Amino acid sequence: MKEKLAQAFGGLVDSTIAAVPKVVVGVLLVVSAFIIAKIVEKVLRYTLTKVRFDELVGKAGIDQSLQRLGIRQELTVLFPRLAYFLVLLVLARTAGDALGIVAISEAIGAFFAYLPNIVAALVLMILGSTLGQFAGQTVAQSAESSGIEFAPTLGKLVSGMILFVCSMMAIAQLKIDTDIVRIVTSFVLGGAALAFGLSFGLGTRDIVRNVAAGFYVRKVLSVGKPLEIAGQQGVLSAITATHVLIHSEGRETAVSNGTFLDQVSKQ
């Protein structure tokens, strides 16, 4: 019994002595990791502040896209902080290899292998948000100049569609299965397109005709001048999306824009 206890105790002592260098190296690596990561963070923050990185991003409109994605912290603070944690992870992997902790080292290695997918997905979301905002504003302004009353809603719809497509691309970059989402989206968009086509093709032919005619009426007629059309005389007071308003003897008369395609008008 004494011999067995002596062997066990001796083995424990030998294992402890053998592990001391690894523990010392691990502690030194951890301390060095925090010091190096802090230095990198401060240097990067100083550099970004000097070049006025936040102002450059603001001029490009990227800050608004980040805010819509829920990122409201200044980039001169956010990027250095991310660099701080990335440096810690890199050195933590080195420490794991030095201490023989394979599980930690492999987990950190898998994270860094997946990191490009996260960056690509984030870039797609930022680009999608920026492009969607630009396209939505452009469509809304064009529709508004054409006299379409639901121009803001149309602009938001276009912006939302672009952001949705970019979101699907970002999810695909993260290697998340989106087959079900794509199938459902295809059915929804197909049904919406069919309903939209039937609505405008059958139920609202006259409205569409008046809206299209109104585009050309604005090019030909001038508001504030006398106008005679379809037996109505007066001063042209307004051109709406579907009708022309003629002011005469204290009252307004509405004439559909499609009338100008069939009858002769005088101004």
In a 13 Å sphere around the CA of 205, the CA atoms on its Cβ side amount to 3
Buried b / exposed e across 187-208, counting CB within 10 Å, b at 16+? Answer: eeeeeeeeeeeeeeeeeeeeee
Class of 210-262 in CATH: mainly beta
Each residue's pLDDT tens digit, 94-132: 777 766 777 777 887 888 788 888 888 888 887 887 888
Q: Quote the pLDDT of residue 224.
A: 84
DSSP 202: I
Residue ranges of domains in the chain: 8-100, 117-203, 210-262
Q: Quote the pLDDT of residue 91.
A: 79
Each residue's pLDDT tens digit, 171-206: 888 777 767 766 777 777 777 777 767 666 666 677
- Please state the length of the chain: 267
Residue 6 has pLDDT above 70, yes or no: no
HEC sequence for 51-94: CCHHHHHHHHCHHHHHHHCCCCCCHHHHHHHHHHHHHHHHHHHH
Buried b / exposed e across 43-78, counting CB within 10 Å, b at 16+? Answer: ebbeebeeeebeeebeeeebbebbeeeeeeeebbee
